[in-house]
Amino acid sequence: MIEQKRVLVTSVPGPASLEMARRKTAAVAAGVGTGMPVYVVEASGGILRDADGNQLIDLGSGIAVTTVGNGNPRVVEAVTEQVRQFTHTCFMVTPYDKYVAVCEKLNELTPGDHEKRSALFNSGAEAVENAVKIARHATGRPAVVAFEHGYHGRTNLTMALTSKNMPYKHRFGPFAPEVYRVPMAYPYRWPTGAENCAEEALRTVTDMIHTQVGEENCAAVVIEPIQGEGGFIVPPEGFLPGVADWCREHGILLIADEVQSGFCRTGDWFACDHEGVVPDLVTTAKGIAGGMPLAAVTGRAEVMDAVHVGGLGGTYGGNPVACAAALASIESMEQDDLAGRAREIGEVLFERLGRLDAEYDQVGEVRGRGAMVAMELVTDGGSKEPNAALAAAVARECFQRGVVTLTCGTYGNVFRFLPPLSISDELLHEAMDMLEEAVAAALA
């Protein structure tokens, strides 16, 4: 376990990282970008140690993945043990119990107490693709509806579902057909004001599906209950339940993409739990397995079981090492009450970011839930003009101070915080001190 302390021994990135970056340019496809070119050699809890010996505070968890913290002892032990036993057989050839155990846990923990089934995959995108396959198969309908600002992955179908062109879709088309996009309930930018957002957005969404798609052609509505890459957009109370009710009325399946928001991140097991929304299908990945690649679709038994035998699967889906990591991660979440810890982290983040909001007109809004919190940066509070340049400058300043942060948003102007839930209050406050300095420096 690395001492949970920020330490800077060189400028960041240091010479060893810069040398690796040179090798990367010569060896790795240019399309694979690296946000912050520090090469990590070790990580635990809320600290990443780089090749130069710098210790950086991690506020990104590798994009919401290491929710239980890097080097979580339960995960390390479970993975080590599993690697010793066996690493792969392919569940579709000769199965093993940990795959079944992960599915049992998913069926128990995801929203709703109806009978469920799960299937395991490798990535979030693969889970979303499979959820759409299952929804189409079960309903016999072709169309799928997704939202503005939504992000669902980089495969052909999930690019079609994803809203933002650059960098995710640009020149990668043509995209999968029968995908329709509707407006997202985005209170901060709702034209007639946040107070009208839930009702008007719901009316617009249902009206567009009715007039442009036809309910009877629509297999599923795919939504992130809190949008991730799109800017941590939290829909107003009432919007998600409204969408869920309307879908049920029309036999349209609701797919909640909880790849980023799931597994305690928002202070509940799943973001849907906050308003008691029960989707027909839930996609999960990222935080599920402490950094091992694992993803899942969980849903109503009759929907999931509609697919013929052999219709779902993949060579690596539900790999035993990833399953062992998932079971250990879930145990940590249960035993250490990580949902409660996410709420505590949220209180610290809201309090500290609220101070910045009060001080700077360029902080347009602080929003989120639990340990999934963002600050939207604008040129000024009046125009709300997105300020991507400021977000990039603040990220750079944070980085130089040894704090790893992430930006997001359709306009690239949202600063997001996704710390591992194992981070201490002390480190979190130190990171917020650095952020305050970074904002001041970026605006100087």
Ligand X SMILES: Cc1ncc(COP(=O)(O)O)c(C=O)c1O
Q: Which of residues 11-70 bind ligand X (CB under 6 A)?
A: 63
Q: How many residues form the binding site for ligand X (CB under 6 A)?
A: 15
Phi-psi region of 337 (alpha: psi -120 to 50; beta: other; left: phi over 0): left
Applying CB under 6 A, does 229 fall inside the site for ligand X? yes
Residue labelled with tokens 């189409």: 136
Applying CB under 6 A, does 327 fall inside the site for ligand X? no
Beta bridge partners of 407: 415
Least Å from the CB of residue 439 to ligand X:
25
Q: Which of 36, 51, 144, 285 binds ligand X (CB under 6 A)?
A: 285
Q: Which is nearer to ligand X, 225 or 402 (CB)?
A: 225
Q: Which is nearer to ligand X, 13 or 230 (CB)?
A: 230
Q: Which is nearer to ligand X, 163 or 362 (CB)?
A: 163
Q: Which of 50, 58, 257, 430 binds ligand X (CB under 6 A)?
A: 257
Least Å from the CB of residue 6 to ligand X:
26
Least Å from the CB of residue 61 to ligand X:
12
Q: What angle do CA 367, 370, 232 make, to 5 degrees?
A: 40
Q: Which is nearer to ligand X, 124 or 419 (CB)?
A: 124
Q: Which of 260, 266, 284, 362 binds ligand X (CB under 6 A)?
A: 260
Q: What angle do CA 371, 57, 341 make, to 5 degrees?
A: 30
Least Å from the CB of residue 24 to ligand X:
20
Least Å from the CB of residue 258 to ligand X:
7
Applying CB under 6 A, does 259 fall inside the site for ligand X? yes
Angstrom distance (rounded) from CA 345 to CA 348: 5
Instruction: Draw the binding track, 131-170, toward ligand X (x: CB under 6 A; -: no contact).
Output: --------------------xxx-----------------
Applying CB under 6 A, does 128 fall inside the site for ligand X? yes
For 57, the token pair is 């505070």
Least Å from the CB of residue 214 to ligand X:
26
Q: Which is nearer to ligand X, 55 or 66 (CB)?
A: 66
Applying CB under 6 A, does 228 fall inside the site for ligand X? yes
C-beta atoms surrounding 94 within 10 Å:
8
Least Å from the CB of residue 350 to ligand X:
22
Q: Which is nearer to ligand X, 148 or 200 (CB)?
A: 148
Instruction: Draw the binding track, 84-123, toward ligand X (x: CB under 6 A; -: no contact).
Output: ---------------------------------------x
In order of 130, 144, 422, the CA distances from 137 in angstroms are 10, 12, 40
Applying CB under 6 A, does 224 fall inside the site for ligand X? yes
* Three-class DSSP labels, the chain: CCCCCCECCCCCCCHHHHHHHHHHHHHCCCCCCCCCCCCEEEEEECEEEECCCCEEEECCHHHHCCCCCECCHHHHHHHHHHHHHCCCCCCCCCCCHHHHHHHHHHHHHCCCCCCEEEEEECCHHHHHHHHHHHHHHHHCCCEEEEECCCCCCCCHHHHHHCCCCCCCCCCCCCCCCCEEEECCCCHHHCCCCHHHHHHHHHHHHHHHHHHHHCHHHEEEEEECCCECCCCCECCCCCHHHHHHHHHHHCCCEEEEECCCCCCCCCCCCCHHHHHCCCCCEEEECHHHHCCCCCEEEEEEHHHHCCCCCCCCCCCCCCCHHHHHHHHHHHHHHHHCCHHHHHHHHHHHHHHHHHHHHHHCCCEEEEEEECCEEEEEEECCCCCCCECHHHHHHHHHHHHHCCEECEEECCCCCEEEECCCCCCCHHHHHHHHHHHHHHHHHHHC
Q: Which is nearer to ligand X, 123 or 130 (CB)?
A: 123
Q: Which is nearer to ligand X, 58 or 229 (CB)?
A: 229
Least Å from the CB of residue 270 to ligand X:
12
The residue number with the shortest CB distance to ligand X is 124
Q: Which is nearer to ligand X, 12 or 374 (CB)?
A: 374
Least Å from the CB of residue 381 to ligand X:
28
Amino acid letter, 333:
M
Q: Which is nearer to ligand X, 151 or 186 (CB)?
A: 151
Q: Which is nearer to ligand X, 14 or 62 (CB)?
A: 62
Least Å from the CB of residue 233 to ligand X:
12
Applying CB under 6 A, does 124 fall inside the site for ligand X? yes
Q: Which of 47, 51, 125, 434 binds ligand X (CB under 6 A)?
A: 125
Residues that bind ligand X (CB under 6 A): 63, 123-125, 128, 151-153, 224, 228-229, 257, 259-260, 285
